[in-house]
Structure 1
Amino acid sequence: MKRAYRNRDLIKALDPDDYLRIYQLTTLYDFPTDMRVGLNLAFYRIFAIPHMAELLVRSGEIIDRPKKRAYDTGLIMYEIIAHGFDHPRSREMIRLLNRVHKPWPISNDDYRFVLAALMVVPLRWLDRRGWRPLLPEERDASVRFYLDVARLMNISDPPTSYPQAERLFDDYEAEHLGSSDAGRALMASTQQIIVRHLPKPLKRFGPAITSGLFNQPDLTNVLDLPAPNPVLVRLIDTAYAVRNTATRLKAARTESWFVPGRPASSVYVHGYTLDQLGPEQAGRSTTL
């Protein structure tokens, strides 16, 4: 069983200042599927902030091209995670993020909330459904990774510790969480992405499954999702418990799941190049 904990033990042996490598081991090696789910859930939280949801609807990307937007968002982030901040591919992705966000009236507080969501929501998911407990070094690495993102995107006063990120995230949601036509439209459009791997007979249960993943009634209510069903939540927890037991019996990953340029679903059947990521004509467009 100790074979499963190889990467955890490697993290323990690393210098905390090697936070990029720690974040890579957590995200790309030990929790590849869970971190993808967690990062998606962090992004969906934006839909429950009315003024941010309205801005996303105005951009047209999520409504008109939900699958491409979803895959592009993930690929951009994983390019940065996999390569670190000094690699040419990462630098191009940071330039892309700055280009597509610059024309829009996004406040620094909104940026800080998104950063906090990316720091906190995936790790809360792992706390609930991950196959092993997180180390303090992994929480610190998540914060320090996104502090680098904040620096490169000129976001001021970001949270500098995990407890601070949690407070910022929770306080912002307590003040701004709300229902809106825009948020409901974004969630409805995104459902096709969430249920894409479900067997066809189960796809109609997509909204209920999404609610079970969130398991937060105030959030699902403003997104026009059904209230979390306790039975379904227990079934989801049971499925993850079985998965986690199997994971603990396997050897740890020694290679990253992410391969730059790889095929990605039906969006990039033959793989992708960096200039394909983001909105059309991202270099000249004002589209998010």
Structure 2
Amino acid sequence: MSTSGPGSGRDDLGRALLAQHPRGEQWRQLDVTIANLTFEQITHMGSLAEERAAERQAVRDRIIARISNPELAGRLASRWIRWKDTFGLPMPAELDDPITVLHHPYLLAQQAPPEHSGWHKVVLPVFDAGLAIAAAGGDQAGIADYELLTAPWRRVCLPSRFTATDAYGPHTQAALRVLRHAEATPTRVVRRMGQVCAEIDGRRWEGAYHAVTEAAIAWGFPLRARSLYWETVPAAEEAVGESPTDPSVVNALWGAAASQAFAGRLDSDTSVLLTRPWRTAGLPLPG
């Protein structure tokens, strides 16, 4: 599992950039709605995006062409990598050029074979919303571009009944406390958790991961498991002070956080396995 993309850091747009950005709060809303997307919402957004498709593509190209801030380009490309992984899309061959990465999901949808093109297209409104929120201009033309690209997401996902406090369900805060605790834990302890996780039989760990994914699907929010994984990545990077960091460290922290977020939805064997690295370090769990 990759833990990084272009411009990766504590969060993909950067705390300072988000604080200064006029649409920073909308970006946070987008994050929450993605974790809580249903298959029905994804399909609905995709059908809405078919309207004015050619115009939408022209707007995408125009916005990307006008991104002159290398930090913004890099951080958006990092988020594209995260979303492509979350939606199960192929990664671009070239990851070092942020602009190439930004174009990739749209080229992928155009070039995908018929048996894959449907899914590749229906998820594009998420990328459109992110692109418009982060990079559309604030003048009249930019606002019109923003309105066009974000329309499917706004119509289907807003207002959201979820916020950052319950983005992963009623036990969200317990899961996030795990990540905050990890960031304050000595680096050697966190690395030891990663070592313990790496020593677990790969097939057993994959089985536990799939159990969490299946629990998310049964819950009706199929992206919650992977969204929580990607929320874990920057916490792991901060905990050990490196980016990218060892995937085993990310997996160890994600396992503990997932055991909390999905409390009551996993069998005991899965929960015990997911929390083994954390408990081996002698750390308590909130739940």
TM-score normalised according to structure 2 size: 0.30
- Structure scoring higher RCO (CA < 8 A, sep ≥ 6) equals 1
